[in-house]
Amino acid sequence: MTDQPLTTVETVGDGVARIAWAATEPVDVVRREVASALLTHARVEALVDPEDAQAQRTATWSGMRREGLMRGVTIEGSAVDRIVYARLASDLPLQEPEGFRAILNSFLPRKRAIGQMLVRDGEDRVLLCQLTYKQDWDLPGGVVEVDESPRAGVTRELEEELGLTIPAGELLLTDWLPPWSGWEDALCLVFDGGVHDASLLERIVREEREIRSVAFKSLDEVRELAADFTTRRIESALARAHGHGSPFTESGRS
């Protein structure tokens, strides 16, 4: 009776091979099988159980990059989640620094960054936006794009959503946001937008799909209109703008 191979490679599409291995298979064997498959395929992929840390390490050290989570894939009649790892024939060799860094970059943790701007009027009221997609008000700003600096991102957001060109000034506050209501954790960076005349409101051109209204609000009004964690962040950013308080908070708390 022939023993079942510990590592299998099958063609699952045009130029695409899928590799699977037993838990006892050494990494160097899997690595050789990946290299061999790439001689006749443009792509070699593996579907790895998110609970199997050893298999994830094997996939990584075999030169495959983590591409994402495939949810609800049917395997042996059951819907399960699987992490997709893959290596392309065009990927740089592992022994080259850029190739090795690309592997690390594919699985190391990443955090979402949000840029916001603290814009005030002469009475120390804060510019707030009433958003179309949630009930509470918030500072102007938004998610920083991939490969975009937070400073450039928040300036862009004000131009896109309010039609205002206000260069981001000093970084007042870095606020860590814990996981909440379906969101993963994130870093919110609040930049100083300076003090402006209240007539600034007359220059605003709202992006109506996202912004319902815009107004300068006192801190008491902020407490009524904004979520608790947003209020704490604004209070902390205001304190920093006045030269005191902590430059780092967690959900607005020092």
Residue 250: pLDDT over 50: yes
The CA distance from 31 to 100, in Å, is 14
Q: Say what the pLDDT of residue 200 is.
A: 97
C-alpha atoms less than 13 angstroms from C-alpha of 8 in its C-beta half-sphere: 9
What is the β-pairing status of strands 16-21 and 43-48? parallel
- The predicted model gives 4-26 an average pLDDT of 94
Alpha-carbon 192 to chain mean position: 23
Q: Say what the pLDDT of residue 1 is.
A: 43
In the chain the domains, ranked by start, together with CATH numbers, are 7-107 (3.40.630.30), 112-250 (3.90.79.10)
The answer to which of 2-6, 49-53, 182-186 has the lowest mean pLDDT is 2-6
Is-contact 19 86, C-beta < 8 A? no
Q: What is the pLDDT of residues 56-97, one digit of tens each?
A: 999 999 999 999 999 999 988 999 999 999 999 999 998 999
Tokens 């606020």, residue?
Answer: 175
- CB atoms under 10 Å from CB of 25, counted, come to 17
Can you read off the two tokens belonging to residue 80? 């399960």
CA distances from 91 to 47, 63, 107, 122 (A): 19, 9, 16, 56
Residue 223: pLDDT over 80: yes
Q: Say what the pLDDT of residue 183 is.
A: 86
Residue 142: what are its φ and ψ, rounded to 5°? 175, -170
DSSP state of 76: T
Q: Say what the pLDDT of residue 4 is.
A: 63
Residue 130: its H or E element: strand 126-131
- The predicted model gives 160-166 an average pLDDT of 97
Can you read off the two tokens belonging to residue 69? 């989570």
- CB atoms under 10 Å from CB of 249, counted, come to 24
Spell 56-78 as b/e; 16+ CB within 10 A means b. bebbbebbbbbeeeeeeeeeeee
Mean pLDDT of the chain: 95
* DSSP notation for 63-119: TPEEEEEEEEEEETTEEEEEEEEEEETTSPPTTSHHHHHHHHHHHS---EEEEEEEE
